[in-house]
Amino acid sequence: MKTFVKIALLSIAAFMGSGCAQNYYNIPRISYEKKVRVLGVAPIFVDADSDIRLPEKNALIPLIQDLNRKNESELVARLKETGAYLSVRMPDAPADQLFSSLLFRRERRSDAGVVYNKYFYKQQELKDLIEKNNLDAVMLVVVSGLTMQDKAYSSNYLAYLEYDFNYLTMTAQILDADGSILWEYPNFQERLHRLTPLLNLQYPDFDEAAANVTDKVDVKFKTIPGITRAFGKSVSSSTHKERMVSQPYKTVFDEMVAMLKPPYRFPWESPRVEPPREPRPEPKATTSALPRVEDSTTRAEPARVGQVKIEPKAAVSDPAPPHPDEIKVETLTPAAK
């Protein structure tokens, strides 16, 4: 029995030790901890010129701006609670004005299988923001529109549609006064790379297709009242139980904060020495001129129609990729003979 207990304790210790080895920063963790003692969190931005295809876009932008103001304090409180910083504070500046002054350009990226919007900021304006507020680094968070292929299932999970859906996503970077990206979300130091969307702005209407006895399924945009109700689903704050936070925001905040918490170490462990890691090289803006960013994908386009297709039972060694509008029907129980 004693041997079993020893083995169990050693297994737990090994598991926890291996979990602590993950470094989510673009530089060694110990270097980040020494460098960033005072962290600024800018008001959450909205990129109104990004790929938001909702026909009611003009009503969506102020809605998201209002949601950002209501929920951003939760992110600040969560970062304070990690104990990783001497201070976490938000610069006193209007979000729209600050974003306009900092933004250099946006770039749609596909890295390690993750599609996301990457943002580049003016170096001098970024440095001025950090120095004016006596910060070591600043966290810039942006809500933006993005179209990417995904899979949506019917309510009974018997069929699904692969389609280029339009999403709202949230990305973030922690930058120093030199413009170096110290940490980012989506995070490419993770073993499994992912980006959790904030909200899908579209849905396939499987029920309408079934009611009309057709194999064609329309992809529709959600309405503003529907989007408002989706964001209105609230849960208790992780720091103040009496305060409520929008569930979509909390889901993304949870992922961010999990990668910004200091690693747990046993009392007898010495600090982990990590190999040197250079920050990921990124182009830096050196001019204050802000060219207008135009995205050819921002124009609203009519929803496409999917086709129903019965999947063959035999496995194919190397299947061709499906057409984006095809509905796959999957039988979950054996068919009656």
% of the chain residues with pLDDT over 90:
63
- Domain ranges for the chain, please list them: 20-265+274-329
Kindly tell me if the per-residue pLDDT of 266 is higher than 50. Answer: no
Q: What is the mean pLDDT of the chain?
A: 82
- Mean predicted confidence (pLDDT) in 138-159: 94
Supply the pLDDT for residue 269. 45
Cα–Cα distance list, 124 to 287, 313, 315 (Å): 8, 60, 57
For residue 191, name the pLDDT band (cuts at 50, 70, 90).
confident
Kindly tell me if the per-residue pLDDT of 223 is higher than 90. Answer: yes
- Mean predicted confidence (pLDDT) in 260-270: 63
For residue 43, name the pLDDT band (cuts at 50, 70, 90).
very high
Supply the DSSP string of 106-175, one letter for each residue.
EEEEEETTEEEEEEEEBHHHHHHHHHHTT-SEEEEEEEEEEEEEEEEE-TTSSEEEEEEEEEEEEEEEEE
Supply the pLDDT for residue 310. 35
Q: H-type helices in 212-277, by residue range?
A: 224-232, 247-258
What is the Cα 330 distance to its own chain's centre? 30
Cα–Cα distance list, 132 to 32, 92, 98, 136, 137 (Å): 21, 11, 13, 11, 12
- Mean predicted confidence (pLDDT) in 46-56: 98
**Which residues make beta-bridge pairs with 327?**
161, 308
Q: Write the CB contacts of 164 (distance below 8 Å, at least 6 apart in sequence).
A: 147, 148, 149, 324
Q: Which residue, among 278, 328, 293, 299, has the nearest Cα to 28 in the 3D structure? A: 278
Kindly tell me if the per-residue pLDDT of 267 is higher than 60. Answer: no
Q: Are 41 and 89 in contact (CB under 8 A)?
A: yes
Supply the pLDDT for residue 305. 53
Tell me the pTM: 0.76
pLDDT tens, position by position, 69-87 = 999 999 999 999 999 999 9
Dist. CA 182–CA 285, nearest whole Å:
17
Q: Write the CB contacts of 61 (distance below 8 Å, at least 6 apart in sequence).
A: 46, 48, 52
Phi, psi of 31 (to 5 degrees): -70, -40
Kindly tell me if the per-residue pLDDT of 231 is higher than 60. Answer: yes
The secondary element (H helix, E strand) that includes residue 309 is strand 305-310
Supply the pLDDT for residue 302. 46
pLDDT tens, position by position, 315-337 = 444 445 444 444 444 434 333 44
